[in-house]
Amino acid sequence: MTVIFALFSVTFLFGKSESISRVDFPNGFIFGTASSAYQFEGAVNEGNKGDSIWDKFTRQPGKILDFSNANTAVDQYHRFKDDIVLMKDMGMDAYRFSISWSRIFPNGTGEPNPEGIQYYNNLIDALTEKGIEPYATLYHWDLPQMLEDRYGGLLSNQVINDFEEYAFTCFKAFGDRVKNWITFNEPHGIAIQGYNYGIQAPGRCSILGHFFCKKGKSSVEPYIVTHNILLAHAAAYHSYHCNFKESQRGQVGIALDAKWYEPISDVDEDKDAAGRAMDFGLGWFLDPLLLGNYPLSMQKLVAERLPVITSEVSQIIKGSLDFVGINHYTTLYARNDRTRIRKMILQDAMSDSAVITTSSKHGVPIGERGASSWLHVVPWGIRKLANYIKDKYGNPPVIITENGMDDSNRPHITIEKALQDHKRINYHRDYLSNLSAAIRQDKCDIRGYFVWSLLDNWEWNLGYTVRFGLYYVDFKNNLTRIPKASVKWFKNMLISKRELSYRLL
């Protein structure tokens, strides 16, 4: 009775912020934060690291919104031990980080770099010493520049063998402690942002007649890149299962960026459009990986520009994952593109789906906006997405490998005000509530949730203009980490049932 009364008191004291907790998720459900090497580490010229395509991209004028770079970023290369203490203090179970390919192989191939291997050994050891489970991503967008120069990087099937060699090296060096591997992060983003629009590295496109990009073909290259990524992923997966699975007992997955697309009306053509939007987003990768071929809508609309998955290739790709990582942030409406004018003008991969997406319906936004124009707060979207994956793909194991929202980095706002990130608290509370419902009520097999991100960080072509972190990073004062209100919320939310009982008695 004392515990029940105390639980009521806690709910009353914390209000909405305690409406979701660890006990609303199954035993063994993993909570963590996520990061990437290029956005967090800094130290781009230390430890014998080679250049990546992002190092070159940031040196080109006009590519980064605030003209910044990630040469220092949040300096986790030197401060990882302190950052791990922050994770532990919050009660996080795991940390998802990425390994920089060009730290392991400065030239992309050849002899591994001992300094790079030692750095990640130190990071992994520090995590395990604190009881934080390491989740390692092998490729988070930072291809060695040498491979881009040598043969065109992801556009060449030579990258498949080089990635397999790199993955093998990492499995061998770190797999005794790392039991959860992610091959590629957001391959859809790589293909579209890097090869369709050219707004991210390596900056290839043709949609404006090479006005913005010097090289590229937006109607073809995204499909070639995706095909090579799928084959490279499968090669790494099979390498692990052949050489390391028996001794290391780990698992290998991939992290796919996935919006939910809601039909803007109940008319069949808009329902079909929403289905095509899912095909050209998530299905582009999950259909080959779980069903053995590209979606039929893609085969029809892309036609000869879509690489063919032969029966032999299908056998290699199909089933080549132990779990599906999902990076989910937002939801959009979808409607049929009847006129196809966009396709006629742009001649790019993004217009192939014959879908127009929008964030409003009859002038009403689908949800409150984050700092980034693409990010709208739509908590119910994550539940619909989870059920879509369950129903279409046979309920595979899923880990939410990224979820979060950003605030604007406004130079004139006080730090005290910036720390009161109640909008972020509400975001995570509501998304987690929908995720819990998907697990408990809908029986979706979801096993973990990673917040993007632990710290405010360098956000690719947006530079330092937005802040995703639970911890505020004072970029004007030695990169000091200061907890936002969301840190306290997560700390309370992550108290285990047992700890809560002890604290309340």
Query: Could you give the strand order of the β-sheet that contains 355-358, starting from the edge strand earlier in sequence?
Result: 260-263, 331-336, 355-358
Residue 182: which H helix or E strand, with range? strand 180-185
Beta bridge partners of 136: 97, 181
> N- to C-terminal Cα distance for the chain?
10
Residue 333: which H helix or E strand, with range? strand 331-336
Taking the C-alpha atoms of residue 41 and residue 78, their distance in angstroms, rounded to an integer, is 8
* CB-facing half-sphere around the CA of 147: CA atoms within 13 A: 27
Beta bridge partners of 110: none
Who contacts 370 (Cβ-Cβ below 8 Å, separation ≥6)? 376, 377, 405, 406, 407
Beta bridge partners of 30: 448
Backbone angles phi, psi at 354, to 5 degrees: 60, 45
Taking the C-alpha atoms of residue 38 and residue 35, their distance in angstroms, rounded to an integer, is 9
Taking the C-alpha atoms of residue 392 and residue 401, their distance in angstroms, rounded to an integer, is 20
Who contacts 401 (Cβ-Cβ below 8 Å, separation ≥6)? 34, 96, 135, 182, 185, 255, 325, 326, 327, 448, 450
Taking the C-alpha atoms of residue 401 and residue 96, their distance in angstroms, rounded to an integer, is 8
Known catalytic residues? Answer: 186, 402
Token output for 192: 């579209």
Who contacts 295 (Cβ-Cβ below 8 Å, separation ≥6)? 279, 280, 283, 284, 287
| Environment class of 505 (CB within 10 Å of its CB; exposed 0-12, middle 13-18, buried 19+) | exposed
Contacts 24+ apart (CB under 8 A), 145-153: 145/50, 145/51, 145/52, 145/53, 145/55, 145/56, 145/102, 146/50, 146/51, 146/102, 146/106, 146/107, 146/108, 147/108, 147/109, 148/53, 148/56, 148/202, 150/108, 153/53, 153/202
Taking the C-alpha atoms of residue 412 and residue 251, their distance in angstroms, rounded to an integer, is 46
On whether the CB atoms of residues 232 and 163 are closer than 8 A, the answer is: yes
What single-letter amino acid sits at 280?
Answer: F
